[in-house]
Structure 1
Amino acid sequence: MSYYIAHRLFAAHDRALAAALAQRIAAKTGPDNVFLPFCDTDEEDLVAEIKGRRLFELDRERLGRLDAMIALLHGPSLDDGVCMEIGYAVASGVPVVVLSTDFQTYSLTETGPHLSFPDPLIQAVAARVVRVPRLGDPELLGQQVPSLFEAFRARNLAQINTALDTTVDTLINLPDHPARLVRPSPADRSSVYVEASPYTAWDGNHLAETCVAAGYTVAVPQRFTAADPVKAALKDLTAMCSADRLLADVSGPETPPGTALLIGAAAARSIRTAAVHPRSSFTHAHGREPNWRNLMIQYAAETRLDNREDVLSWLAA
């Protein structure tokens, strides 16, 4: 068995949480069966001519031979690299267990159905969602603590330990033969799925209208307006996997989570993908080339577009 832990990389506490989960899984399945990005790719000390691309290649190689994925997602701003990896796994027929200690739920309207994540696509594709939203019970800690703050810390650690243990048990008891997503044959070679960003300054219909003007058949997301957003999210994923191309607006502080997931699914299915990013910003990590998005997004997309003329040129290619 091979297990991949997808987690946010950019803060020490996120890496420590993922390592604690990896240790628990390794104790039950063996250390050679667990892949922990950053740790197993030796990201801190890796030297490569184009380090970000090399890291993408190492992670993608492991994504191609998994039995299950465990994804750590917390809070309303979901890590776009993790969401891309979820999409890659799901489109490859790999079950994904999602762990969250978020105490909030989300809805697309004030009275709409409550969701575990801001984008219903995450919930729709997860084989299991493990949510442990409450702190540990102070009466069950079984120890005297010297101060209010130490007690609060202990309750948080108890919550984390419960979440990790529950996740490992869930992972071990997953069905052996998960349902696989089958990509339907495209109706024609001129179909494009257009995923807009809620953060973009462009009109939400602008990209779709550009594709229609170029002679393409266009599909757009339905999950944000449907009465049943989870069911509609699965239809969105199927529609994207039926398209010849994915045109994804990745604008925002991070690539929107559903958009990142679709990019991962497209990468797994070898669907041509362009990322629209009109206002570029860059991250600078030690030893890496500047990345204009999370490296899992940057290298999964074949190109970056920043205006209508670029979009038209890509559609014509």
Structure 2
Amino acid sequence: MNVYFAAPMFAKSELIYNSYLVEKIRQQYPDLAIYLPQENDTINDKTAYADSKMIALADTQKVEESQLMIALLDGITIDSGVASEVGIAYANHIPILGLYTDSRQQGSDNQQKLEALGTVAENQFHYLNLYTVGLIKLNGQVYSSEEALLTGLNEFLNE
């Protein structure tokens, strides 16, 4: 099965985390063919040249060849490339498993946090673009931890 791993990939911390999580999945599921865009030097070696059309065509082809997408949603906002890839996966009826680990989602039952929502500039929670999240949920699931993602992946693979 081909899996497309959609994730931000421009900060060193992002590159390291992506590699870590993909390696963890590869070890657990060696039969999966996981495409991690940062490993495609033809378009992602930032010392070389790839124009916008080359990048769009290469990654779109890999999304369309996939039977599953895993999308990392963490960050100030959902990475624009990830959001685009989610849209392509949704349009092609490819199931999507999202991972959103932002710690600000904790405490949803805390009354003080809930009351703070009514005070300007005191939102204790993080916002994700609901359109992109909706595309994922219409064709998959969003998980709040690596462990939950791996459990969801296992359930998907055993369906």
Q: Same fold (TM over 0.5)?
A: yes
Q: Which runs of 5+ in 2 are unaligned?
A: 109-116, 119-124
Structure 1 residues 46 and 54, CA gap change in structure 2 (3 angstroms):
farther
Instruction: Specify the alignment match of 2:14 in structure 1.
Output: 14
Percent identical pairs in the alignment equals 21
Aligned residue number for residue 38 of structure 2: 38
Q: Which one scores higher on RCO, CA 8 angstroms, separation ≥ 6?
A: 2
Q: 1:164-203 to 2 correspondence within 5 Å?
A: 164-174=146-156
Deviations 1:63-110 (A, max 9, x none): 11111111111144221110110111011101111111112349xxx4
Q: Contact 1:68–1:95 at 8 Å: present in 2 too?
A: yes
Pick the aligned partner of 2:143 from 119, 122, 130: 130
> Normalized against structure 2, the TM-score is what?
0.73
Q: Which residue in the other structure is 1:303 paired with? A: none
Displacement of 1:168: 2.3
Tell me the residue number matched to 1:119.
129
Structure 1 distance, partners of 2:94, 2:158, is: 11
Aligned length: 140
Unaligned runs of 5+ in 1: 132-162, 178-317
State how far apart, in whole Å, the 2-side matches of 1:91 and 1:101 are.
25
Structure 1 75/47 Cα, relative in aligned 2: closer, same or farther at 3 Å?
closer
Q: Distance in 1 between matches of 2:46 and 2:35?
A: 17
Maintained 8 Å contact 2:3/2:32: no
Shift of 1:44: 1.8
RMSD of aligned residue pairs (Cα, Å): 2.9
Give TM-score scaled by structure 1 length: 0.39
SS at match of 1:38: helix
Return the index of the structure with the highest Cα Rg.
Answer: 1
Q: Which amino acid aligns with 1:13?
A: S
Distance 1:54 1:38 in 2: 14
Q: Deviations over 1:225-278 (max 9, x none)?
A: xxxxxxxxxxxxxxxxxxxxxxxxxxxxxxxxxxxxxxxxxxxxxxxxxxxxxx
Q: Deviations over 1:281-304 (max 9, x none)?
A: xxxxxxxxxxxxxxxxxxxxxxxx
